Amino acid sequence: MSHGLHMSMMIGEMIILEAEKHNARFITEIDIELGKLSCFSKEQIETYLLMRLENTVAEGAEVNIKEIIPEAFCETCSFEGELREAPQFNIGIEFYEPRCPRCNSSDITLIKGKECKLTQIKLI
């Protein structure tokens, strides 16, 4: 099974469980945060999730997937913030330079950008 499919199935299960817990008749909106350095693509998660939610109370819900730009803490200069994009790598996707944007140190710790988070749902 592709890991994107597996992830979407887990998200779908949680949405349905939450719907049952709150006696929802419909789920109207689903909000997800997806880190740009995770190995999942927005399209992949959305497609599989919509498949999982067919014929459930969440069918037809609006799925909002917000992509999260990677942020890091620099162990050298204590900078905390977004990493710089690295178009110079010319690899055809958005990739981020694994260095501190302020002092160029590679001794950084990623604090955002690898998540795959179900943040909230709206229900009736």
Partner 1 sequence: MEEQYEKEIVIETDFLKKNEQCANDIENLFKANQINAYDIMGSIGAGKTSLIIELVKKLKDKHNIYAIAGDLTTDIDAERIKEAGADVKQINTGKECHLDTTTIKNTLQDINLKEIDILFVENVGNLICPADYRLGTKKRIVVIAITEGPYMVLKHPYTFLSADIVVINKIDLSPYVGVEPDDLEKDLHKVNPKATVFQCSCRNREGIDALLKELLPEFRY
Contact set with partner 1 (CB under 8 A):
1-3, 6-7, 10-11, 14, 18, 22, 28, 35, 37-40, 86, 89-91, 93, 95, 98-99, 106-107, 114-124
- For Cα atoms 48, 54, 60, give the angle at the middle one, nearest 5 degrees: 95
Find the shortest distance in angstroms from Cβ 54 to partner 1.
Answer: 21
Report in angstroms how near the CB of residue 67 gets to partner 1 at its nearest.
14
- Judged by CB, which is closer to partner 1: 20, or 54? 20
Decide: 113 and 82 in contact? Cβ < 8 Å. no
CB of 98 to partner 1, least distance (A): 6
Beta-sheet pairing, 27-35 with 62-68: parallel
Q: How far is the CB of 77 from partner 1 (least distance, A)?
A: 16
55/92 with CB nearer partner 1? 92
How many Å separate Cα 64 from the centre of its chain? 10
What is the pairing mode between strands 71-74 and 80-82?
antiparallel
